[in-house]
Structure 1
């Protein structure tokens, strides 16, 4: 998937990336792509930090694996503030849903109870998305309709720890865990 064109992206083959940009070849088209480099909080502005692949709009290289360890490794691989947000969402999920199980699927952390998946959490360049499967049935309905996640998936975008409304997100977690998740049987 090509990056958004904001005027800084190269438009022709063979051009050198501007300062603060990363050039790479697209796996799909074989054409060069350019992605902005992020500067971690507190880092010197002339020192570029390469975003993990998951945050450039592509699927993360994190391998599909079931269990706590792969999810903790995925979260630990993220730069700040995304890592802190991911850790807070994970901790809230563990506190809210005692029978929680975790997995890495499609380059994101997935959470479920019973034998189905209820919601997922994925990091992007400027935010972390928490997406509730069957979220259109939640009260109130979460505000974000993620692209490519299904017609009933809804979620929230969190840019900082201050954006986490623990009461509301925990309520959505409880609601979504009370109905069958993806891949699960009716409860």
Structure 2
């Protein structure tokens, strides 16, 4: 008699082999352990579902190209970007069901203002839907944001 492995047992075995995909949280956001550096950010991006993975790769590439030496980390299941001399983070992004939300921590200082308002005084958001990225504007905001004092979180 052949017994089927339960999904739970199969998942544990895959995790031991290192080939398991991280679980997705609400809205399809990858659950990635917090950590500093490029590796956890790349793990997060690799785990982003569907078209959002391409958006994540593109965002990461644009940020690295625009801000040489950018500091990276994953915190609260989101990639964070900062500048060492600024003492904190200037940007993060997060997966939701229908879009990727980019958070500018000092967004009210950016011109023009990113469209998404926040309950936090200085934060502004940019929601990126599939095939909906204004690369020129995003690069300008990343450049501006990286020159502002960082947010300590």
**TM-score bracket for the superposition, by shorter chain length:** 0.7 to 0.9
Return 5+ residue gaps in structure 1 as ranges.
1-50
CA contact (8 A) 1:144 1:156 kept: yes
2-side partners of 1:116 and 1:101: how far apart? Answer: 9
1:55 partner SS: helix
Q: Does 1:102 align with 2:75?
A: no
Q: Which has the higher helix share?
A: 2
Aligned equivalent of 2:90, options 105, 118, 140:
118
**C-alpha deviation, 1:108, in angstroms:** 0.4
Q: Does 1:151 align with 2:118?
A: no
CA contact (8 A) 2:38 2:72 kept: yes
1:1-187 to 2 correspondences below 5 Å = 52-55=24-27, 61-114=31-84, 115-146=87-118, 150-160=120-130, 162-183=131-152
TM-score by length of 1: 0.64
**C-alpha deviation, 1:146, in angstroms:** 4.2
**Deviation sequence 1:18-76 (CA, Å, 0-9, x none):** xxxxxxxxxxxxxxxxxxxxxxxxxxxxxxxxx810525xx753221111000000110
1:179 partner SS: coil
**C-alpha deviation, 1:99, in angstroms:** 1.8
CA RMSD of aligned residues (A): 1.9
CA contact (8 A) 1:54 1:61 kept: no
Runs of at least 4 residues off by over 6 Å? none
CA contact (8 A) 2:34 2:75 kept: yes
2-side partners of 1:88 and 1:69: how far apart? Answer: 16
Structure with greater contact order relative to length (CA < 8 Å, sep ≥ 6): 2
TM-score by length of 2: 0.78
1:163 partner SS: coil
